[in-house]
Amino acid sequence: MTTITIAKRFRGPAESANGGYFAGCVAAQVRYPVSVRLLRPPPLDRPLDVQALPDDALAVLLGSERIGLAQPAELTLTPRPAPTYFEAVEASRHYAGFAHHRFPSCFVCGTQRVRGDGMRIFAGALPERDLVAAPWVPDPSLDAGDDKVRAEFMSAALDCPGFYAVSPDDRMMLLGEITMRITRRVHVGERCVVLGWRIESEGRKHSAGTAVYGEEGDLCGSARALWIEPKSS
């Protein structure tokens, strides 16, 4: 049995991991695509056991409590075309998190995180395209040692823009499940575009698509995520 530990730097809410980063850490344990379900908020700075299950599934445990579950899955998604980098820069000026942010210390989209610490992916609306978009230039702290971004950071980038795609009114939602496909790890310093769009909504459940495009306009990663409104909201 292997273990993973999510450092406090990689938080989403103040006391738990960013869901996309957590999913990327789980996905890194295998060599096949998986869908990662978050059953509990992943704790920070605590060793989590990764247990193999039948049918190539994985359970992530804190003691006897299941935190997450990963199962083999193929991503079914038609990514939206990318806006230009400068269109993404303009969209980010309208990032809803600048006015109010539920989790301002989020590693991916938190406004309190400085360059070189947080990823600072601020996805703002492009109403004419019915999506949100942000520029992203990965900093050296994300380097895997080969001048490319580690896969779990690619997964993290595919998280938060989905929230802003399905919750433009800042309605409380939590990531329930995400299925990702990374086709190319982008380079440190590469000018990327990250986007998110709504797929469908049913009651408290909302599906979003996200994508990362590289400097040359190539699709480098995509994901489909399920966001869930808590019953108490």
pTM: 0.96
Q: 109: domain CATH number?
A: 3.10.129.10
Among residues 9, 52, 55, which one has the least CA distance to residue 152? 9
- How many structural domains compose the chain? 2
Reported as half-sphere exposure (CB side, CA atoms, 13 A), residue 68 has a value of 33
Among residues 79, 72, 70, which one has the least CA distance to residue 50? 70
**Residue 38 placed within a domain:** yes
169: DSSP letter: T
- Contact (CB, 8 A) for 58 and 28: no
pLDDT of residue 233: 46
Distance from the Cα of residue 1 to its chain's centroid: 26
Tell me: do 150 and 190 sit in the same domain. Answer: yes
Per residue in 160-190, pLDDT tens? 999 999 998 778 999 999 999 999 999 999 9
Domain end point (choices 23, 51, 72): 72
pLDDT of residue 118: 98
Q: What is the mean pLDDT of each run of 10 residues along the chain (233 residues)?
A: 95 97 96 94 97 96 97 95 97 96 96 97 95 98 98 98 92 94 97 98 96 98 96 66
Strands (E), 18-130: 34-38, 48-52, 58-62, 65-72, 124-126
Per residue in 222-233, pLDDT tens? 999 999 999 864
Range of the domain at 210: 85-228
